[in-house]
Structures are given as C-alpha cells and as structure tokens.
C-alpha cells in the first residue's frame, strides 16, 4: 500500500525540494555528496590591533608647519608694469556720447547700469610709420598689439577683482576681448577717436590715426570700464603711469 506522502510531487509554486531538485523528485549522488572544504580565492586578514593608528593620527602626522615670510611683499601694479614714459601715453577719458550710444551693441554680454563709462586709451609710440605697410612695420605692429593685450588683461583683472566691469577692444579684430561676438566693431581709425584727443587722417586709400606728438608713429588700444575714475583701483592704475 502506497502512503499518501509518496505521491507528493514538486510544488509548482514553491519549486523543487532541496533534497530532490530534479523532475519526479529525483536526486543525484553528486548533488548530495559532500565536497572537501576549499580555501576562499580571496584571503581576508584580520586587522592587527596591537598597533592601531587612527585617521586622526594620520592627519596629525601629515600637518605642515607653515610660517609666513615677513619679508615677502607682493608686487603692486605700478611695480609690475613699468612703462617707458618716452614711448607710451595713457589717458583716462569719459566715454564720448557718440561712442556711448553704441556700447550696448559693442559689449553685448554686459548691461550698462551707469551713464558714466571711462575709456583708458593706451597709445604706444612706434618706430615705423603706420602709414606705409612693410614687413618690418607689420612685425612691430604685432609686437605692440601683444604688449597692449598683456597690459589690458592685467588692468581689467585688477578692476574686475574690485567688482567693476571692464573689457577692452582687441585692436586687430576691433571687437571685445572678453565679450561675445558682435558686428559692431571699433578700430583705431574710427572717427569716434577724434572725440578722445586723436586725429584721423584720410589718405584716400585708407585712414590712419594720428597722435598729437608722434603723428602716425602710434599704436592705440582702448579699455572700457564702469569703475569710477576716483575709485581706489583707478588711482592705483594711475599711480603706475603718473609720470608719463
């Protein structure tokens, strides 16, 4: 006589019994045989508690002893920018109304909140006449342009650190150095420079800017800022060129 328990088969919901995993409640000697113990592939070592070092101990051991050099004094702008007063002229001009109305189109990334905008014009005397083009003149012009950009970047950075807006016109492109692209350009031969103490001479084939002293032996670059002319940062810049 068969016992009712003998008819029990695998439960379709719970799955096969652990001891009889195969269909028909069948098992295998291989499944039930015991395998010899095997060392794990990754060995786990217990920490040595005899000489524990805490994270704080590590941090304390790595602290650096820093001492201030009392003799160190960073260079001021006037010390790091020594101008030759025979070859450069720096003027602080109120932005002319003729130019002021176009600033929003020139500096498209900036919203002007003040009607007072200062233009810092840096004029460098050139060896070659800027009227007649030649290889030597072009080489000097590129060097003067590089010199202006180097100084203008430092001036703008100094002003911006004090919380004021400042940007300058790249003389080669006629467009803002930091600002976004615009079709409104300003070259040194623009007649609006006549409102800032320069002359523009029309030679028929081209125009050229003229300095009151140096004539056409000049290269001009312009920085624009909303920093008040009597602010501390502007006074620091002026002190660098006060004898020019």
Burial of 99 (0-12, 13-18, 19+ CB in 10 A): buried
Q: What is the pTM for the complete model shown? A: 0.64
Strand 175-176 and strand 199-202: pairing?
Answer: unpaired
From first to last of its 244 residues, the chain has per-residue pLDDT tens of: 444 444 455 544 445 555 666 666 656 555 555 566 666 656 555 655 556 655 556 555 555 454 555 665 655 554 555 545 458 999 999 999 999 999 999 999 999 987 889 999 999 999 999 998 899 999 999 999 999 999 999 999 999 999 999 999 999 999 999 999 999 999 999 999 999 999 999 888 889 999 999 999 999 999 999 999 999 999 999 887 764 4
Domain ranges of the chain: 77-240
Instruction: Report the distance separating Cα 210 and Cα 117, nearest Å.
Output: 24
Instruction: Report the distance separating Cα 27 and Cα 30, nearest Å.
Output: 9
C-alpha pair distances (Å), 157 with each of 149, 180, 237: 12, 18, 12
């Amino acid at each position: 006589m068969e016992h009712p328990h003998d008819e029990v088969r695998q439960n379709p919901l719970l799955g096969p019994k652990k001891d009889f995993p195969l269909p028909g409640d069948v098992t295998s000697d291989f499944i039930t045989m015991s395998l010899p113990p095997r060392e794990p592939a990754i060995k786990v070592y217990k920490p040595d508690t005899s000489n524990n070092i805490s994270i704080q101990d590590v941090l304390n051991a790595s602290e650096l002893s820093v001492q201030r050099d009392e003799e160190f004094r960073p260079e001021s702008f006037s010390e790091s920018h020594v101008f030759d007063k025979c070859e450069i002229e720096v003027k602080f001009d109120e932005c002319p109304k003729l130019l002021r109305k176009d600033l929003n189109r020139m500096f498209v990334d900036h919203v002007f909140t003040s009607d007072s905008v200062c233009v810092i014009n840096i004029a460098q005397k050139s060896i070659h006449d800027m009227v007649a083009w030649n290889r030597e003149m072009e080489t000097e012009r590129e060097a003067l342009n590089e010199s202006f950009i180097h100084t203008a970047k430092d001036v703008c950075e100094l002003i911006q650190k004090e919380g004021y807006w400042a940007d300058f016109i790249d003389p080669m492109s006629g467009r803002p150095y930091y600002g976004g692209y615009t079709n409104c350009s300003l070259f040194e031969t623009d007649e609006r420079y006549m409102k800032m103490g320069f002359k523009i001479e029309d030679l028929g084939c081209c125009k050229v800017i003229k300095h009151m002293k140096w004539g056409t032996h000049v290269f001009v670059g312009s920085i624009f800022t909303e920093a008040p002319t009597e602010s501390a940062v502007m006074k620091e810049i002026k002190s660098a060129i006060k004898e020019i």
